[in-house]
């Protein structure tokens, strides 16, 4: 499967714990995006990488959130001190320059 | 960032009928307008997309109509099938960057 891969698919964590998600984009896609989707809503932009450089962060991305894309390949999204409001589907997408984004299956986070 | 407004929220169509979903955007800098289809528990999948220099694009049973002056675009699904039952999102972006999504339309096609 050469699509966007996300791991884990599901994560249940206790409030206050840290979680980390991984995204493996389609190879040779230099753009990588993280989105958050809550039930009944469209995906909301969180952050964007062009190769290894993080070029934009949404105001939705509080200080508890950090994303990295070392060497311009896979990316990780870490949430520190999780809150119940962080419960959502976290989607990763990748694209070649100037083209449509291809989404992964997402990681569903439940904070209890 | 409600830059893309989508309607209706939900839609029920008989098998074989036409499903129509409408979207309006605000930012005239947008130059790429994709539609995504999402099934429960899956990520959104690109269905069809259009650029503003074209007024209509058709791919199989799916057609996008685009009205640049009104800043509106719509998705038409001809001969709707039960397998089309999903959530559909319109979206907009500039050069494919930072796609902004509508709130989604839940389509149910009755057999």
Task: Tell me if chain B has a CB within 8 Å of the CB of A41.
Answer: yes
**Distance, CA of A106 to CA of A89 (rounded, Å):** 6
Q: Which chain A residue's Cα is nearest to B102? A: A42
The helix/strand count (H/E) of chain A reads as 0, 11
* Chain B positions in Cβ-Cβ contact with residue A56 (cut-off 8 Å): 98
Q: Which residues pair with B12 in a beta bridge?
A: B108
Which tokens belong to B49? 């997309």
Positive or negative, the CA dihedral B1, A81, A10, A85 is: negative
Whose CA is closest to A93, among A48, A37, A58? Answer: A48
How many CB contacts within 8 angstroms connect chain A with chain B? 59
* A98 reaches B (C-beta below 8 A): yes
State yes or no: pLDDT of B96 exceeds 80: no
Asked if B46 contacts B38 with a C-beta cutoff of 8 angstroms, the reply is no
What whole-number distance in Å separates Cα of residue B96 and Cα of residue A86? 27
How far is the C-alpha of A23 from the C-alpha of A35, rounded, in Å? 12
Of A55, A42, A5, which is closest to residue B100 (Cα–Cα)? A42
DSSP H/E element including A33: strand A31-37
pLDDT number for residue B88: 98
| Confidence at residue A96, expressed as pLDDT on a 0 to 100 scale | 85
Residue A43 has its nearest CB partner, among B46, B97, B101, at B101
Residue B74 predicted with pLDDT over 80: yes
Q: Provide the terminal-to-terminal Cα distance of chain B, rounded to the nearest Å.
A: 37
Among A4-8, A106-110, B96-100, which is the least confidently predicted range? B96-100
Report the pLDDT value the prediction gives residue A1, as an integer from 0 to 100. Answer: 54
């Amino acid at each position: 499967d050469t699509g966007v891969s996300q791991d884990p698919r599901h994560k249940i964590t206790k409030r206050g714990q840290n979680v980390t998600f991984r995204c493996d984009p389609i190879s040779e896609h230099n753009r990588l995006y993280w989105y958050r989707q809550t039930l009944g809503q469209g995906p909301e932009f969180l952050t964007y990488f062009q190769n290894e450089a993080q070029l934009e962060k949404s105001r939705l991305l509080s200080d508890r959130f950090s994303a990295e894309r070392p060497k311009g390949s896979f990316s990780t999204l870490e949430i520190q001190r999780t809150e119940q409001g962080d419960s959502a589907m976290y989607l990763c997408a990748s694209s070649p320059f100037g083209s449509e984004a291809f989404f992964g299956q997402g990681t569903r986070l439940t904070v209890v | 960032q409600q830059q893309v407004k989508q309607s209706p929220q939900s839609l029920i169509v008989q098998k074989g009928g036409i499903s129509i979903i409408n979207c309006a955007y605000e930012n005239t800098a947008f130059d790429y307008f994709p539609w995504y289809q999402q099934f429960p528990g899956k990520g959104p999948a690109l269905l069809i997309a259009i650029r503003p220099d074209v007024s209509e694009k058709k791919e199989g049973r799916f057609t996008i109509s685009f009205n640049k002056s009104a800043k509106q675009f719509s998705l038409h699904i001809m001969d709707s099938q039960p397998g089309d039952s999903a959530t559909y999102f319109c979206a907009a972006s500039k050069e494919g960057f930072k796609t902004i999504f509508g709130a989604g339309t839940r389509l149910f096609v009755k057999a």
